[in-house]
Structure 1
Amino acid sequence: MGKFLAMLILVCAVGAGAGMYYLQVYGYYEEVELKPGQDVVLVPQDGDKGVAIDYADFQAIDASSSPIRYRACFSSPLSRQELAQTYTVSQHYQPRIAPGWFECFDAEAIGAALEAGTATAFLSVKNIEYGVDRVVAVTDQGQGYVWHELNNCGKKAYDGTVVGESCPELPGANQ
């Protein structure tokens, strides 16, 4: 009877582990439906609303389980130097690791390119959800990448510190 219970516990543990792995890597993600002219936008230096740029080969994934699971890849005929003359450059970037099956998005390579200066990060959408900004990076080769990044208000809201007056009001704070 003891061997049976031990095997049952082992089978349950393996099943639970496999289920959690599947949910983290595959379960919640879905492909994003293309919205031509709206998928890749950058905030002009003298504005606050994103403007569409030229892009092709767009593919993206997202998950409703978290506001920072969005990842996208595209190509652009515009150079990062041209874009930097017109659009808001972001110094706050940390590409998030994408699931292995979404092969076009390599967060480590993107981060290395940003650090090496062969890619530039731009602000795409401020507060796409509370405390979360959309960031676009473009490389010297014209490859582009998009992900969501916690901004200062989001970092404060999610770690439990006082948000402060400089941040917009938290949704549902008056309820």
Structure 2
Amino acid sequence: MNGKIIGIIIMLSAVIAGAGLYYLQIYGFYREVTEEPITLVSLTDDQPEKIATTALQAIDADSSPIRFRACFTTDLSLPMLTETYVMADASDPRNAPGWFDCFDASAIAAEIDAGTALTFLGGKNVHFGVDRIVAITEDGRGYVWHELNDCGEKAYDGTIVGEECPPLPTN
């Protein structure tokens, strides 16, 4: 009888811990971001410039620099954007939590692959080793996510960081 009670307590503890971990990963750390401007890096001076957007929805989490996601619309045309801003290598967007339904990573990746969306650099080292990527479709829908850049991949996998990388922040 004692063994059953201990077994039940262990099972209940595992279920509660699993549910708590799931909640924290999917919901707990995220917060809505309302004041985040959408920027693209200018070809002329390599500095981020705010672009005109509407219908911005964004989320972020302090637990990781790559959890930022945003959706927006813009009236700027792709030809004008390609002549004005730095393009980024096409990359697959990172998944967003299912409840953030404006950001469908597989649909965005399909548009990038089809050429109906182009990717731009939204900011270099927005956090150490992390770049902001902005994808904009032909019809003006935009999506933002963060990707590790070469410095971030080197720093986080333990290899020596070269001189081209900014210094690691001291927190």
C-alpha displacement at 1:32, in angstroms? 0.5
1:12 maps to which residue?
Answer: 13
2:25 maps to which residue?
Answer: 24
**Which shows bigger deviation, 42-51 or 12-21?**
42-51
2:149 maps to which residue?
Answer: 151
What secondary structure sits across from 1:168 in the alignment? Answer: coil
- C-alpha distance in 1 between matches for 2:111 and 2:152: 25
What secondary structure sits across from 1:2 in the alignment? Answer: helix
Q: TM-score, normalised by structure 2?
A: 0.95
1:45 maps to which residue?
Answer: 43
The structure 1 segments of at least 4 consecutive aligned residues displaced by more than 4 Å after TM superposition are none
Q: Number of paired residues? A: 170
Say if 1:94 and 1:149, in contact at 8 Å, map to a contact too.
no
2:122 is equivalent to residue 120 of structure 1:
no
What secondary structure sits across from 2:132 in the alignment? Answer: strand
- C-alpha distance in 2 between matches for 1:146 and 1:114: 13
What stretches of structure 2 of length at least 5 have no aligned partner? none
Please tell me the residue identity of whatever aligns with 2:50: A
C-alpha displacement at 1:92, in angstroms? 5.1
Please tell me the residue identity of whatever aligns with 1:97: N
C-alpha displacement at 1:166, in angstroms? 1.6
Structure 1 segment 1-175 matched on structure 2, within 5 A? 1-35=2-36, 39-91=37-89, 93-172=91-170
C-alpha displacement at 1:81, in angstroms? 2.3
What stretches of structure 1 of length at least 5 have no aligned partner? none
Please tell me the residue identity of whatever aligns with 2:65: P
Q: TM-score, normalised by structure 1?
A: 0.93
What secondary structure sits across from 2:169 in the alignment? Answer: coil
C-alpha displacement at 1:9, in angstroms? 0.8
C-alpha displacement at 1:94, in angstroms? 2.8
Identity of aligned residues (%): 55
**Which shows bigger deviation, 135-144 or 162-171?**
162-171
Say if 1:136 and 1:146, in contact at 8 Å, map to a contact too.
yes
C-alpha displacement at 1:53, in angstroms? 1.3
What secondary structure sits across from 2:107 in the alignment? Answer: helix
C-alpha displacement at 1:41, in angstroms? 0.9
Cα RMSD after superposing both structures? 1.3
What secondary structure sits across from 1:147 in the alignment? Answer: strand
Please tell me the residue identity of whatever aligns with 1:161: T
Please tell me the residue identity of whatever aligns with 1:3: K
C-alpha displacement at 1:4, in angstroms? 0.9
